[in-house]
């Protein structure tokens, strides 16, 4: 069984692709990029300006998707081919664009901040499990191959990035920025919209959402998808400059022998995580979008005994975790912002 849905949904999200709608001062356009539904909403701008800026945001997203895709021709796929040629005593070296260099440096920093549980260097494990494709088979990889890839210990710190080129010493490194690029795109979109004088907008990339301003003086309100049934678990107001992101075991997964195997792989053992259904974080600051995409992943992988410590280490005060048995735990900062839907289990609040 294969499922592909969205983690955090805008309430009353319009269906369809490449949809454009205007009314009540709202201009909204949708497309399909990064393998998911993307929606850009602009409030309080003339229609021609709103259409122009949303068109540009969607074009930029498409360019980023093609440039930084790990499995299709582009800058990142070309780099991966070169890095795989590294041999003992003979490092591999490639020229890269300033933008990609900055992204890799930042992804390395965030990987270290997440204690290695966010690890964009494990693309070979992602491919082994079949999650590099939009269509994947419900099958378990060979356990010995998994062990071999884990023993190779591919890490972002295997790369040296300087002066427009990257040097790699570990041929097991295959970069997959799927857990980084959507958040990076949110920040790029926010910067562009601000540069165009847009003060109120909402950008949604498959459930990673960033807010600018408000909607007619009312904060943007978004919903957190329930991981096991249709509809929202809870809603909250997203303030100016904040972003929200969720990692869940229900977006990309398959089942074998009655067990669920999701795309979120623990780099410590090479297996999909099974102790968590979902983790949601709210972030703020200059890189709110990027952090919303990245931070939920190590918290998801860390598990019940580690996730709270890791959230503090990454500067996340508003977080929600749902365990494999459906128990909900929230930080005090997140709990105080949520409006819960009816008939839900009581959440445990942790300080």
Rounded average pLDDT over 24-40: 92
Q: Does a structural domain hold residue 1?
A: no
pTM of this prediction? Answer: 0.92
pLDDT computed for residue 6 by the predictor: 39
pLDDT of residue 137: 85
Residue with the larger pLDDT of the pair 5 and 69: 69
Residue 56 falls within a domain, yes or no? no
Q: For position 23, what pLDDT does the model report?
A: 56
Contact by Cβ (8 Å): 292, 282: yes
Owning domain of residue 319 = 8-45+180-350
C-alpha span between 311 and 111 (Å, rounded): 13
> Could you tell me if 95 and 164 are in contact, meaning their C-beta atoms sit under 8 angstroms apart?
yes
Q: Which residues pair with 162 in a beta bridge?
A: 165
> In this structure, what are the phi and psi dihedrals at residue 150, rounded to the nearest 5 degrees?
-70, -40
Verify that 164 and 188 share a domain, yes or no: no
How many angstroms separate the most distant Cα atoms in the chain?
Answer: 64
Nearest 5 degrees, angle CA 36-CA 40-CA 44?
170
Q: What is the pLDDT of residues 71-117, one digit of tens each?
A: 889 999 999 999 999 999 999 999 999 999 999 999 999 999 999 99
Q: Average pLDDT of the chain?
A: 91
pLDDT computed for residue 164 by the predictor = 87
**Quick check: 272 and 248 in contact, CB under 8 A?**
no
Q: Which residues contact 48 (CB under 8 A, 6 or more apart)?
A: none
Please say which residue of 137, 158, 179 terminates a domain.
179
- Nearest Cα residue to 284 out of 275, 269, 300, 295: 295
The predicted structure's pLDDT at residue 346: 85
pLDDT at 16: 30
Q: Are residues 185 and 331 in the same domain?
A: yes
What contacts 32, CB < 8 A, 6 or more positions away? Answer: 17, 18, 38
From CA 23, how far away is CA 132, in angstroms rounded?
Answer: 39
Q: Is the pLDDT of residue 219 over 60?
A: yes
The answer to whether residues 216 and 334 belong to one domain is yes
> Rounded mean pLDDT of 311-316?
96
Query: Final residue of a domain: which of 156, 179, 202?
Result: 179
Averaged pLDDT, 253-277: 97
User: Last residue of a domain, which of 153, 179, 205?
Assistant: 179
**Res 211: pLDDT:** 98
- Whether residues 33 and 94 fall in one domain: no
Closest CA to 220 of 81, 13, 7: 13
Claim to verify: residue 285 and residue 148 sit in the same structural domain:
no
Beta-carbon contacts of 179 under 8 Å, excluding residues fewer than 6 positions away, are 118, 120, 293, 294, 297
Residues 203 and 300 in one domain: yes
Q: What three-state secondary structure class fits 156?
A: helix
Asked if residue 231 and residue 166 are part of one domain, the reply reads no
Residues 109 and 197 in one domain: no
Contact 93, 165 (CB under 8 A): yes
């Amino acid at each position: 069984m294969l499922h592909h849905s969205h983690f955090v949904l805008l309430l009353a999200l319009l269906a369809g692709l490449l949809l454009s709608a205007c009314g009540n001062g709202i201009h909204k356009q949708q497309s399909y990029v990064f393998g998911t539904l993307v929606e850009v909403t602009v409030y309080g701008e003339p229609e021609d300006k709103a259409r122009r800026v949303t068109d540009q945001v969607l074009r930029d997203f498409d360019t980023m998707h093609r440039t930084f895709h790990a499995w299709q021709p582009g800058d990142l796929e070309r780099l991966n081919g070169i890095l795989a040629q590294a041999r003992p005593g003979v490092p591999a070296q490639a020229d890269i664009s300033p933008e990609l260099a900055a992204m890799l440096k930042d992804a390395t920093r965030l990987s270290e901040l997440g204690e290695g549980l966010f690890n964009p260097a494990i693309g070979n494990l992602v491919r082994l499990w079949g999650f590099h494709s939009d269509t994947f088979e419900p099958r378990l990889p060979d356990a010995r191959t998994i062990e071999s890839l884990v023993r190779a210990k591919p890490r972002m710190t295997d790369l040296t990035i300087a002066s427009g080129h990257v040097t790699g010493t570990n041929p097991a490194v295959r970069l997959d920025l799927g857990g980084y690029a959507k958040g990076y795109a949110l920040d790029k979109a926010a910067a562009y919209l601000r540069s165009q004088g847009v003060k109120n907008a909402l950008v949604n990339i498959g459930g990673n959402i960033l807010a600018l301003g408000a909607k007619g003086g009312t904060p943007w309100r978004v919903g957190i998808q329930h991981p096991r049934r249709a509809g929202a678990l809870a809603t909250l107001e997203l303030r100016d400059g904040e972003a929200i992101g969720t990692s869940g075991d229900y977006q990309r997964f398959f089942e074998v022998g009655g067990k669920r195997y999701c795309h979120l792989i623990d780099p410590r053992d090479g297996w999909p995580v099974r102790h968590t259904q979902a983790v949601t974080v709210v972030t703020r600051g200059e890189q709110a979008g990027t952090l919303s995409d990245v931070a939920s992943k190590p918290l998801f992988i860390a598990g019940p005994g580690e996730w709270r410590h890791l959230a503090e280490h990454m500067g996340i005060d508003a977080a929600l975790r749902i365990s494999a048995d459906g128990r909900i735990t929230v930080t005090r900062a997140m709990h105080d912002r949520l409006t819960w839907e009816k008939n839900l289990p009581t959440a445990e609040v942790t300080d």
